[in-house]
Amino acid sequence: EVQLVESGGGLVQPGGSLRLSCTASGFTFSSRVMYWVRQTPGKGPEWISAISNSGSDIYYTDSVKGRFTISRDNSKNTVFLQMNSLRADDTAKYYCAKIGVRDGFDTWGQGTMVTVSS
């Protein structure tokens, strides 16, 4: 079964840090671009970061550049999102995803909630 399982969310104070992990199974992880997408309650999803299959190409949306870092460990089938300098507007459910808009090989994790509050 193709599966993505996120972990690492929680409550953190403004200015704090969290590291999210997403472990994949059921597909050839090292051949796929991986994404992090977040969604604030009541709003639509927002793409925040992507990493190529080898990890050599990395992309971020403007609102997280310089604060978030995506990485992957293909030997452990895991993608990470290091989140620093967290702000209240980073509060959201964070999803790890293998996006299949072009080929239909689309899988999302269950999401992990990040709450930034004092």
Residues in contact with other proteins by the rule CB under 8 A? 35, 37, 44-47, 50, 59, 61, 95, 97, 99-104, 106, 108-111
Strand ranges for the chain from DSSP E: 3-7, 10-12, 18-25, 34-39, 45-51, 58-60, 68-73, 78-83, 92-98, 107-108, 112-116
- The minimum distance between CB 62 and other proteins, in angstroms, equals 9
- The minimum distance between CB 86 and other proteins, in angstroms, equals 22
Task: Rank residues 92 and 97 by Cβ distance to other proteins and give the closer one.
Answer: 97
d(CA 1, CA 85): 36
- The minimum distance between CB 16 and other proteins, in angstroms, equals 26
> What's the distance, Cα to Cα, between the start and end of the chain in Å?
39
- The minimum distance between CB 59 and other proteins, in angstroms, equals 6
Task: Rank residues 16 and 115 by Cβ distance to other proteins and give the closer one.
Answer: 115
Task: Rank residues 33 and 55 by Cβ distance to other proteins and give the closer one.
Answer: 33
For 25, phi and psi rounded to 5 degrees? Answer: -150, 155
DSSP state string for 7-20: E--EEE-TT--EEE
Task: Rank residues 4 and 83 by Cβ distance to other proteins and give the closer one.
Answer: 4
